[in-house]
Structure formats: structure tokens, C-alpha cells
Amino acid sequence: MKSLNACVIVCLCALFIGCSAPDKPIYHDVTYDYDVAVDFTRIKTYNWVKMPATSRIDDFNQIRIKAVANAKLKLLGLKVKVDNPDVLLVMYGGGYKAVDMTVLMDYAVYDIGRLKLAMYDAHSHGEIWWGESRADLFYEMTPAQKDEVVEHSVHRILEYYPPPKDEAIEKPAQRMLEYNAPDP
């Protein structure tokens, strides 16, 4: 009987540990896309623009995002220029609730945060590049934790800017070859 009680206690402990929420965000893959006809080496200046979707991001997080993005873009050789920039930079964000169900019909509700940075040609206003990151956020965060999540997300997004030169030239042709390839 004692071994059965011990077994039940061990199983319950394992269940509670397995169902507890992580104490750090879980990051998803970054997605991105761009206009292959754009010569990104010509882009030297940018300016931030607010769009209606930007208003979903609170002011403190907008400040965090801009600070991290400005520092990273400066390292890439881009400068903020209010008058007549090469591109307009826009941030989109928000989140939604997600629910995970377990085998035992237990569930956990958590937030999924979303951040998208997009570049638009300043003259044509056409989108030329965007990158998006998502993260599962399991808890209320302190300002320091928000700083960390924003920094991590912005850096991950901007890893894909500018797009690799070889990728911009070779991949569309490669995709066409794969699409037109005969079946074996």
C-alpha cells in the first residue's frame, strides 16, 4: 500500500511540474519576405511612420522597439532621416490568446505576442521588406523583461535585413526550375 501511495504522489508531482507554465518566453521562427527587384544596397536612410496598427503597441514598447531597431540599423549603415528618407519603417504589433490542452483535459491560456517591422519605398509607398517574430508569453513581465523580449525579437527580425544578395538573385530562378521540373 505504501508503494502505491508513493507512486501516486510521484505521478501527481510529475503532472504538476509538467503542467506548469515556463518562466521565459518561447520564441517562434522569424518569417520575412521582400521584393527581389529592390537593390537594398542603395538604401541608406529611413524614417519611422505611425500606422493605425502601430497604435496597438503601447508607447513604452514603441520606444523600446525604436531604440533597439535604430541601434541595429545604425550598425548596418542606415541613418534616421526625417526629410526625404529612402524608406519608411513601420512597426506592427499586438497579440492574441492561445490555449493548450493536455491529455487530462487540463488547459493553459497564454498570450502570443507579435512584432512585425516593415519597410516601404518612400516614393512609391510600396512594401519592399518585412520581418515578423512571435513569442509565447506565459506571464506578466517587468519592464526589464520587456526590454529583453523586445531586444531579442528585434535582433532576430533584423537578422534578415538586408536579404542576402545571393538569395535575392538565385532563389526566384531556383523556385521556377523546381516548379517546372518534371516528375521522376
Q: Do the Cβ atoms of 93 and 61 come closer than 8 Å?
A: yes
Tell whether 47 is covered by a domain: yes
Tell whether 8 is covered by a domain: no
Sequential DSSP letters for 82-99: SSS-SEEEEEEEEEEEEE
Name the residue with higher pLDDT: 60 or 110: 60
Tell whether 126 is covered by a domain: yes
Tell whether 142 is covered by a domain: yes
Q: Do the Cβ atoms of 92 and 48 come closer than 8 Å?
A: no
In sequence order, the β-bridge partners of residue 132 are 31, 116
The verdict on pTM exceeding 0.75 is no
Distance CA 67, CA 73 (A): 10
Q: Do the Cβ atoms of 110 and 146 come closer than 8 Å?
A: no
Q: What pLDDT, on the 0 to 100 scale, is given for residue 3?
A: 59
Residue 178 has pLDDT above 70, yes or no: no
Domain of residue 66: give its range. 22-180
Residue 165 has pLDDT above 60, yes or no: yes
Tell whether 1 is covered by a domain: no
Match 511540474 to its residue by C-alpha cell.
17
pLDDT in tens, 117-140: 999 999 999 999 999 998 877 667
Tell whether 149 is covered by a domain: yes
Angle at 30 between CA 55 and CA 145, to 5 degrees: 60
In sequence order, the β-bridge partners of residue 111 are 97, 137
Distance CA 95, CA 112 (A): 5
Indicate which CATH number applies to the domain containing 170: 3.30.160.670
pLDDT in tens, 19-77: 444 456 677 789 999 999 999 999 999 999 988 876 788 899 899 999 999 999 999 99
Its sign, for the CA torsion 21, 27, 29, 30, is: positive
Q: What pLDDT, on the 0 to 100 scale, is given for residue 133?
A: 93
Match 518566453 to its residue by C-alpha cell.
25
Q: Do the Cβ atoms of 112 and 99 come closer than 8 Å?
A: no
Instruction: Tell me the pLDDT band of 2, cut-offs 50, 70 and 90.
Output: low
CB neighbours (10 Å) of residue 59?
A: 8
Residue 96 has pLDDT above 90, yes or no: no
Q: What pLDDT, on the 0 to 100 scale, is given for residue 167?
A: 53
Q: What pLDDT, on the 0 to 100 scale, is given for residue 94?
A: 75
Tell whether 2 is covered by a domain: no
Distance CA 78, CA 122 (A): 14
- The total domain count for the chain is 1
Residue 78 has pLDDT above 90, yes or no: yes
Q: For strand 87-101 and strand 107-121, is the pairing parallel, antiparallel, or unpaired?
A: antiparallel
**Alpha-carbon torsion angle 14, 17, 19, 23, nearest 10:** -160
**Can you tell me the mean pLDDT for 6-11?**
42
Tell whether 32 is covered by a domain: yes
